[in-house]
Structure 1
Amino acid sequence: MSLKKSFSKDKQTCKVTFTVSKEAAQGAKSINLAGDFNSWSSTDTPLTLGSDGSFSVTLELAADREYQFRYLLDGCRWENDWKADKYIPAPFSNADNSVVVTRQ
């Protein structure tokens, strides 16, 4: 898993590529990204399967913010990003949420 960030020239937005490696996907057929940026929708932000077996999606997010998120594998198993910028306890479960920080 990984997060790749690219800031706009005016530093107002940050393109973040969320990637789940083939190993981390553990044979999943589909992966969706849910977080603050999509009202925690489990279906609005699907990741695309790459030729190497990894899944990824790129989102343009506002800069200078922190966004909580998690991955939903095959519609039934929640996973965190192993390389998130940090983790915050989830308000409605015993798990943590991954966090991506969009500031330089």
Structure 2
Amino acid sequence: MSVKKQFIKAKPVCKVTFSFPAKTAQQVAVVGDFNNWDPSVGALSKLKNGTFKGVFDLDKNADYEFKYLVDGNYVNEPEADSYRWNAFAGNENSVVVV
């Protein structure tokens, strides 16, 4: 699992790449504040090596709570910038800072 950031100088956005290795998974999505927790908007594409990957443009100078949705189960990013308690979820969410 990983989150990679590519800052764009000419635009107020950061290209954030989310990767999740899951060879046996059928569907993986990244859901969070930046896509209204909508799995259809955050669907990741499965690569030949079994990793799911997607790139999203996120506004700079902000932080976003997120999780991976792997075949219906929520999973945190172990390499997240931080974690934040979310009372709605009753659990911690991963946080990415851009």
TM-score where L is the length of structure 1: 0.87
Deviations, residues 46-104 of structure 1 (Å, cap 9, x unaligned): 00001111001000111010011011111x210011111110012213321001100xx
- Report the equivalent of 1:95: 91
Cα distance, 1:88–1:26 mapped onto 2, change above 3 Å: farther
Which ranges of structure 2 fall in alignment gaps of 5 or more residues?
none
Counterpart Cα distance in 1 of 2:16 and 2:94: 14
1:15 equivalent to 2:15? Answer yes
Say which structure is richer in strand. 2
TM-score where L is the length of structure 2: 0.92
- From 25, 49, 69, the equivalent of 2:46 is 49
- Report the equivalent of 2:76: 80
SS in structure 2 opposite 1:37?
A: helix
1:26 Cα deviation after fit: 6.3
Number of residue pairs matched? 98
Counterpart Cα distance in 1 of 2:46 and 2:23: 13
- Report the equivalent of 1:30: 27
1:61 equivalent to 2:58? Answer yes
Counterpart Cα distance in 1 of 2:32 and 2:86: 11
- AA matched with 1:35: G
- Check the 8 A contact 2:13/2:57 in 1, yes or no: yes
SS in structure 1 opposite 2:34?
A: helix
Q: Which runs of 4+ in 1 moved over 2 A?
A: none
Identical aligned pairs, as a percentage? 39
- Check the 8 A contact 2:29/2:68 in 1, yes or no: yes
Counterpart Cα distance in 2 of 1:45 and 1:96: 19
- AA matched with 2:76: N
